[in-house]
Structure 1
Amino acid sequence: MSLIIYFFTYIHIISSRTSDAGEKMSDKTASLLDELTKERDAVNTRRAQLPEEYQAQSATIGLALSGGGIRSATFCLGVVRALAKNKLLIHFDYLSTVSGGGYLGGMLGRLYQKNKDPVAVQDALARDDTILLAWLRNNGRYLIPAGMRDTSLGIAQILRSFVAALFLVTLLCIAIAGIAISVNLALQGPLDLRLALLPAAKQQWLMTLAVPLAFSAWMAITYWLTLSKWPFLLDLTVGFILTVAAAAGIYFMMCQYAEQTDFNDSLFVTGALGLINIIAIALAIGCPGKNVAQFRQRLTLALTRSLTLALAVLLLWLIYCGGWALYLRFHSSLLIVPPTVVAGVKIIWELRPLKLLATSLANKSPVVSVSLLQLADILGFVIMIFSLLTVCAAEIDFLLCKAHTLNISQTMLAWLPAMLTLGIAGIFALFCYGKILIPFLNLSSLHNLYRSRLERAWLSVANYGGGKNKRFADNPLDSKPSGKLNDIHRVTDHLPGDDIHFNKYAPHRQGGPIHLITCCINQTVDDRTGNYNADRKGIALTLSALGVETGTRLPGPVVNMKDATLSHWIAISGAAAATGMGSRTAPGLAFLLFVIGGRLGYWSKNLCPVKETATTKKPPPFAVPALFAEMFARFPGRNSKYWFLSDGGHFENTGVYPLLKRNLKTIVVADCGADPKRQFDDLENLVRKARIDYGIDIVFHAAHSPHFTSLAQLQKGGELPPLLRAKIIYPHCNGQPVLPGTLIIVKPHSLKGMGLDTLSYAGRHSDFPQQTTGDQFFDEAQWEAYHQLGFQAGSAINREMLL
């Protein structure tokens, strides 16, 4: 029976068509010029809100705040306050943020939009006595601001996500184990159930495996027969001889490696293979000459699929044999093993001391630092295999030892695994192709927990004034006389005015900068060709009031963003722990993160779908169902109906990337990504992507100023000047040279003249100021050390450097 199923499956495979790999450029020259004009108009709108002495500024400059969690946000706060104190913050036309830099960027944008006076915002940020500064200092532990009570609330949400993920994984394991058991029962034939559940003889599995392998051979032979000049009968004769030879080889293999053989089965296999061969040759001979190249490509695709099917048969065999072996050893105790083991992994994962220890080891040992992600990837595969085998053993245990108590007939029991598989397949089909799965995955992740914490601690600073739902009674930019801090709602309270709809968020209209928020569209599979994307595994997604831009494209109109808020996009931009992590995405790691519920990523509808024309091919509704995409890291990418979004640092962490396409004169970047070994990974990634994507060269200068150091000096360590400088060499535009730009880097490191408290903190913590990003719970001393270091470093920037 299985041979007949394979036969008709292959008939379908050989007629399959390859996907269209071509992609037409959607960005025409005229539209590019229009978008540039819109950007210039937005910059002019911003400057029109400023005093006259600032409106004449000719240079366009940008500020980039990098990823790095609370460490980055706190250091960047110091840098921004230093720029404000030097009367320079108001000069920045663009603000580009990634991950932790977005905490501060969103807060800054809300202050500009609410106060409507950019000079007043700048002056207030320069002061040391504001309510705002006290509020941020008190909320360094923004993830668990209420201590144990907030921790218990977070644990409840984490456990809810964990149970949902474990339920889905268990269903999938039951379905796969059911297939393995059903195939084994079919190969055994009509026997007593206890005998039929014994692993089928080797030759029966080998015979089943022989069909897809033989079909693969026919596909390879047919590839060469497209050049054949032989008569049709001669082709059939050669094919028949090869078929007989293959069947004889299979029969000989069965005699050598199996205890017994069935000659009738061998004849049946021979007949099936012969028919497949005749069809393959007929298709090859009947193929019109002008379609030969396309047909060869289809043959290669069919060969790939048949080999994949052969591998699937082999894996089902191994799963069943492994499940049977575990059943014989452990029996019914297996029913509780998979959830117990996975729960144990979850508990270990959530222990903060172990997280910090692992990160510390990674920072100190180059061997460990390279392999930690690989070990997590391997652990994910181990849990995946272990879950499959134990669930398979549990199903066998149920069929043999438990079902008789339910008075179920043997015939019904024999069909039970197949019916379970079909039922679960129906559930998954309902989930995957209805409007259920995407909201379910988003709600079962930790996105909303993370988003709410950022909203209350950072973005709520514009929610002030009279009224019940106002967090602050007074403007947070005011000074903090005694008693004013008592009028603030607790950070644990949810208030409607803390957030703002993203379509209404436009700080540049009130004199603030144009805020660019960068996320990462995960893409492990090229949705044009179906090929595996082995390098970047992601594309930049940048959002602003000007629209949405992907990769090197300029902003375009936004769709599918009806209910999105600012906190929603700030949280996605900082979704560091996700099943998709750009170039670090791995299937085992994705499965591990999925099963323990440690997911911050978010599924979003395509924000800029390609418009259909008469010549464009409509993409499938969703090529890879989202559930399996997350479990096994198979993300389709930019042209898919849905995007899986994660931390912008998974593509480019400094935030400079979207500013480069705008040819700015000066870019200041706070490079706060974890770099304990001073390897400059984020700067290296920026330089490489700038050259590949934009044709822009970034060349670092030697230090020739008391304010600047060099990469070589930073690698040696010690107390050094606060800044780095590089030259941005833009490519020619319309054959004309473009004036070079300047990149000023503020990177956390020890400085001369640090305050006593900062110096003392650094003395007690040798990894300061490059402590692990995994530590998102800053106490007062830690918060103040990073804030003051950023303030001291940013104070070195002056007007001559920018303008």
Structure 2
Amino acid sequence: MKLMGLAFSGGGIRSATFNLGIIQKLAELGLLHHFDYLSTVSGGGYIGTWLESWIKRATSISKVGDRLCPDTSADPLADEVRPIRWLRMFSNYLSPNVSIMSADAWASGMTWLRNTLINQFVLLLILLSTLSFIFNLYQGWLHLVHDHIPRFSNWKSLIWSFLILFPGSIAVALAMRSFQPAQLQRGEEVGRRYWELIKLYQTRLVQSAKRIPGFLMAWAAIFGLIISIWFYGYTTQELDLVNKLKLIWPTGVSCFICFIMLAAFGNYHKREDLRGAGRATVLSATRTTEEIAMDEILRKKIWWAVICSSIIASLACVAFLGLAWVLIQYIKSRVCLFGLIDANKAALVLGLPIILEVLALTVIVRMAIMGNLFPDYRREWWGRIGGLVHRFVLIWILVSLAALVLPDLYPAASKALVAAWGGWAAIVGWGVKKAFESKEGNPETQKNTTALFVKLVPYIFMIGFLLIGSWITGQLRNLCPKDFSANSHEWFNVGETGVLLVLTLALSWRIGVNEFSLHHFYRNRLTRAYLGATRTREDRVKTANPFTGFDTNDDLLLSSFRAAEGYQGPFPIINTALNATVVSALDRQDRMAESFIFSPLYCGFDFSPTRSATYNIDHVYEYGYRPTEQFSNPNGGPTLGTAMAISGAAVNPNWGYHSSTSVAFLLTLFNIRLGWWIGNPRKNAWQNSDPSWGLLYLIKDLMGKSDINTDYVCLSDGGHFDNMGLYELVRRRCTYIILGDGEQDDDASCEGLGNAIRRCRIDFGVEITLDLKAIVEGGKDSKHVAQGQIKYPGKDGPVGTLIYIKTSINGQETVDVRQYSKVNKTFPQQSTGDQFFDEAQFESYRKLGYLSISDIDDLHFPGVIPTWKNSQTTQAKYLKDKKLKFQWKMFTDFLGTL
């Protein structure tokens, strides 16, 4: 079966209006009913859903095709063509009345301000709760270091240090075993069955190795706090470094024992671990005596290296701990560090990082002694753990300084604060302005200076936001009455933290992550403009709200767009991007997104396009599709307007290959969030449209993190993966595709098309060739349409046709279009950020789309002779004209050879 697809690209209202002209031309040529699929992205989805809803409500594609023809009605204002006139009325769909004093403009501004303040209040509560908790931690720390530091004998010190180190060593051993999971074998002996059961649980623990780094971070933080508290609170002014080492030598013994356990349980002795170093033979069923002897030698070598490295690393650990003790005691001896910072607070801020550095240096010493007997891939694992530890150290120092130290410094710097905040605001404002400016001036200079500064601005803003939180925390602590006792002060601070935490949880539960984003604002206006257009005047007047103009009846259930429900148009495929900044497949890490579709039958994504069977690991399905009738809403599924708005969510903290942690922070803080967190179709939450507790996902937005394996996934503009809508049509092996490309393309690089072709080749093995010279070179001989070939894989793979139609100017347009292009130099590549079209702009793009197809010859339509209704052109005349054109071409080609 040869399938035909129609695709409309992203590009906001520019693409929607340009593709409206293409739709009208296809209707005039009588071709609209031939298409099996309509694949849309972002702005293309505006006009695609408009067409689909019109066909649905009219119950006939031929009736809609007749009304789409420009010469259908003598009166362009007649009711039968009202859906097109409605689009003109709402070309400024975000704020139909563009006057700065209009109700629409003020409603838009105040809606953004309201939602932003609500989200900022939740984010501020998160920050204040964190800073207040750290201050409570400091208060508890003070009690411990002054009143509750035990004096251990050597044996007790040995036992306690072993109990502290043991969990960390077991966790690391499990991670090391994950490189070679245990092979289970069934035995007949009763005793062996118990052994197999133990190995089974061990294997399950190994399979959870991805959770081990998080556990290790928590363990290391607790370990560091315990040791730093003991060092700080143990009064040893009379002891020199040698005597300190005598007190902590049992820790070295415990360290040695744990190192040996780690090596034994972590499979350090197995020769398979050394293949990466090229020092072991491959296991085989039959091995020679010489190979077996070589294995034994290698085992002995490894164990000698393990023992020697463990002894040396343990001695080094004792020495490093002794130096750390001296350093922490030095901080304690300074009543006021640098004349500014309280020594107790400085000890908490720096004590934990100092102990973590001791752990890191001890591990480095052991790896250095092991040398090439410790495989490189295991060193890579340790290197990543080291990176996580030092990232935590940096965050700990910054946040604890903000919580403990900075509030004490504000009174001394009160006069300079006003100027500092003013300078901070000016720098951030200038940076944001530069980030949104168009490309001007010298590109190299911009790349080297402005671009670098713009990247730094979000971090400058983060620091300022942290300082604001620190100042507010200090002011909250000052609310405690002065006549309270010291103990009452402490309980007041604990109560303050509790209140902040309860407020944070309660508000995040009620507000959610989606409810007060800009998605609803965006969706409501898109639905009114494009889906409300296809309703009759009488029907809408009865149900629309007379004050706001919105009407919930404008929208339709996506699951109703099926033949069984009376729908006769092409099958809708609405493309969105499932953001995956945290990826499990390294070959997809540059994409940071997957293709996620909404259709009347199924919604979801295919994470493994080359895999032919469905399976699951830990109840997570590799193929993520769910029935549309129940997806995200058991009572019918998502609506057409919701799918359209998600597909057009162009700006979002998580936005495919544009994703950046620093930019995500700014976008979340100022609530520039058009995307949607929805139940993961691979998880049990697939019927939920919104997380019950949105706090976690709001933090993920703040950090620019999203994952395909969480209960809820972040969807945004389909253009963040494929801005053409071509990818999903190729997946369905369409042999004829018309693609209307209305994306912004200032330098005629066809970035979106190139990206789609590249991914179709990588994921499906489909080769698409296309000659774009006639489009991108410009001039009188340039064209709007190019023909390409789609070669599907396999010896007998089908060969299809791609018709590519692009927004371009060749000087052959009508007078009004040429006039508009002369006045507006960037036409037809005006900014996608311009979502407010005036009358001339709307008509120029619509007419350009209509003129892009001169006749049916441009489309190379397979085996179809159109029967134009409302036209005097007959089939016989069409064939005659085509024959004359062919003869004329042959004649001109002959003259060219003379």
Give TM-score, length-normalised by structure 2. 0.65
Q: Shift in Å at residue 381 of structure 1?
A: 2.4
Q: Which moved more, 1:138-147 or 1:579-588?
A: 138-147
CA distance in 1, matches of 2:557, 2:441: 40
Q: Shift in Å at residue 496 of structure 1?
A: 3.5
Indicate the residue corresponding to 2:103 in structure 1. 149
The 5 Å alignment of 1:113-192 reads 113-128=56-71, 129=76, 130-147=81-98, 148-182=102-136
Indicate the residue corresponding to 1:51 in structure 2. none
- Shift in CA distance, 242/541, structure 1 to aligned 2, threshold 3 Å: same
Structure 2, unaligned stretches of length 5 or more? Answer: 147-223, 233-250, 270-301, 336-342, 368-374, 610-622, 863-898
Q: Shift in Å at residue 117 of structure 1?
A: 2.0
CA distance in 1, matches of 2:451, 2:781: 32
Q: Secondary structure at the match of 2:582?
A: coil
2:852 aligned with 1:793: yes
- Shift in CA distance, 343/600, structure 1 to aligned 2, threshold 3 Å: farther
Aligned residue identity for 2:742: C
Q: Secondary structure at the match of 1:794?
A: coil
Q: Shift in Å at residue 298 of structure 1?
A: 8.8
2:556 aligned with 1:518: no
Q: Secondary structure at the match of 2:643?
A: helix
Q: Shift in Å at residue 467 of structure 1?
A: 4.7
Q: Shift in Å at residue 742 of structure 1?
A: 1.6
- Shift in CA distance, 414/374, structure 1 to aligned 2, threshold 3 Å: farther
CA distance in 2, matches of 1:322, 1:75: 58
Aligned residue identity for 1:141: N
CA distance in 2, matches of 1:504, 1:250: 69
Is the 8 Å Cα contact of residues 125 and 503 (structure 2) preserved in structure 1?
Answer: no
2:736 aligned with 1:662: no
Is the 8 Å Cα contact of residues 403 and 473 (structure 2) preserved in structure 1?
Answer: no
Structure 1, unaligned stretches of length 5 or more? Answer: 1-57, 193-202, 285-291, 472-487, 613-619, 704-708
Is the 8 Å Cα contact of residues 590 and 631 (structure 1) preserved in structure 2?
Answer: yes
Indicate the residue corresponding to 1:544 in structure 2. 599
Indicate the residue corresponding to 2:488 in structure 1. 412
CA distance in 1, matches of 2:126, 2:669: 12
Q: Shift in Å at residue 79 of structure 1?
A: 1.1
Could you report, residue by residue, the CA deviation over 1:69-101 in whole angstroms, capped at 9, with x for unpaired residues? 111111110111111112222221111000011
CA distance in 2, matches of 1:630, 1:663: 36
Indicate the residue corresponding to 1:722 in structure 2. 784
Is the 8 Å Cα contact of residues 25 and 850 (structure 2) preserved in structure 1?
Answer: yes
Q: Shift in Å at residue 548 of structure 1?
A: 1.8
Is the 8 Å Cα contact of residues 27 and 66 (structure 2) preserved in structure 1?
Answer: yes
Aligned residue identity for 2:567: Q
Aligned residue identity for 1:630: D
Q: Secondary structure at the match of 2:513?
A: helix
Is the 8 Å Cα contact of residues 132 and 403 (structure 2) preserved in structure 1?
Answer: no
Q: Shift in Å at residue 792 of structure 1?
A: 0.6
Q: Shift in Å at residue 330 of structure 1?
A: 4.3
Is the 8 Å Cα contact of residues 575 and 601 (structure 1) preserved in structure 2?
Answer: yes
Could you report, residue by residue, the CA deviation over 1:696-719 in whole angstroms, capped at 9, with x for unpaired residues? 12222366xxxxx155x25xx677
Q: Secondary structure at the match of 1:444?
A: coil
The 5 Å alignment of 1:640-719 reads 640-701=710-771, 709-711=774-776, 713-714=777-778
2:627 aligned with 1:572: no
Bigger CA radius of gyration: 2
CA distance in 1, matches of 2:231, 2:787: 64
Indicate the residue corresponding to 1:759 in structure 2. 818
CA distance in 2, matches of 1:144, 1:452: 11
2:33 aligned with 1:90: yes
Indicate the residue corresponding to 1:501 in structure 2. 557
CA distance in 1, matches of 2:409, 2:743: 46
CA distance in 1, matches of 2:104, 2:306: 77
Aligned-pair RMSD on alpha carbons? 4.9
CA distance in 2, matches of 1:391, 1:205: 28
Is the 8 Å Cα contact of residues 346 and 596 (structure 1) preserved in structure 2?
Answer: no
- Shift in CA distance, 91/590, structure 1 to aligned 2, threshold 3 Å: same
Aligned residue identity for 2:705: R
Q: Secondary structure at the match of 2:739?
A: strand
Q: Which moved more, 1:120-129 or 1:761-770?
A: 120-129
Q: Shift in Å at residue 647 of structure 1?
A: 0.6
The 5 Å alignment of 1:585-624 reads 585-609=659-683
- Shift in CA distance, 656/451, structure 1 to aligned 2, threshold 3 Å: same
Q: Secondary structure at the match of 1:445?
A: coil
**2:43 aligned residue (94, 100, 103):** 100
Is the 8 Å Cα contact of residues 74 and 783 (structure 1) preserved in structure 2?
Answer: yes
CA distance in 1, matches of 2:678, 2:448: 32
- Shift in CA distance, 334/166, structure 1 to aligned 2, threshold 3 Å: farther
2:330 aligned with 1:387: no
- Shift in CA distance, 381/656, structure 1 to aligned 2, threshold 3 Å: same
Is the 8 Å Cα contact of residues 674 and 773 (structure 1) preserved in structure 2?
Answer: yes
Q: Shift in Å at residue 783 of structure 1?
A: 0.9
Q: Secondary structure at the match of 2:790?
A: strand
Q: Which moved more, 1:63-72 or 1:440-449?
A: 440-449
CA distance in 2, matches of 1:649, 1:768: 21
- Shift in CA distance, 461/348, structure 1 to aligned 2, threshold 3 Å: farther
CA distance in 1, matches of 2:487, 2:418: 24
Could you report, residue by residue, the CA deviation over 1:710-733 in whole angstroms, capped at 9, with x for unpaired residues? 55x25xx6772111232212111x
Q: Shift in Å at residue 378 of structure 1?
A: 3.3
2:383 aligned with 1:311: no
Could you report, residue by residue, the CA deviation over 1:413-465 in whole angstroms, capped at 9, with x for unpaired residues? 34555554454445555677xxx36x622111111111111111111133226
Q: Secondary structure at the match of 1:121?
A: helix
Aligned residue identity for 1:310: V
Indicate the residue corresponding to 2:4 in structure 1. 61
Is the 8 Å Cα contact of residues 679 and 685 (structure 2) preserved in structure 1?
Answer: no
Q: Shift in Å at residue 633 of structure 1?
A: 1.1
CA distance in 2, matches of 1:578, 1:700: 32
Could you report, residue by residue, the CA deviation over 1:105-134 in whole angstroms, capped at 9, with x for unpaired residues? 011001111112222211210125232322
CA distance in 2, matches of 1:81, 1:448: 30
| Identity level (%) | 26
Q: Shift in Å at residue 411 of structure 1?
A: 3.0
Is the 8 Å Cα contact of residues 507 and 513 (structure 1) preserved in structure 2?
Answer: no
- Shift in CA distance, 348/300, structure 1 to aligned 2, threshold 3 Å: closer
CA distance in 1, matches of 2:548, 2:450: 35
- Shift in CA distance, 628/718, structure 1 to aligned 2, threshold 3 Å: farther
Q: When the two structures are aligned, how many residues end up with a matched partner?
A: 672
Is the 8 Å Cα contact of residues 61 and 91 (structure 1) preserved in structure 2?
Answer: yes
Q: Shift in Å at residue 516 of structure 1?
A: 0.4
2:523 aligned with 1:451: yes
Q: Shift in Å at residue 677 of structure 1?
A: 1.5
Indicate the residue corresponding to 2:339 in structure 1. none
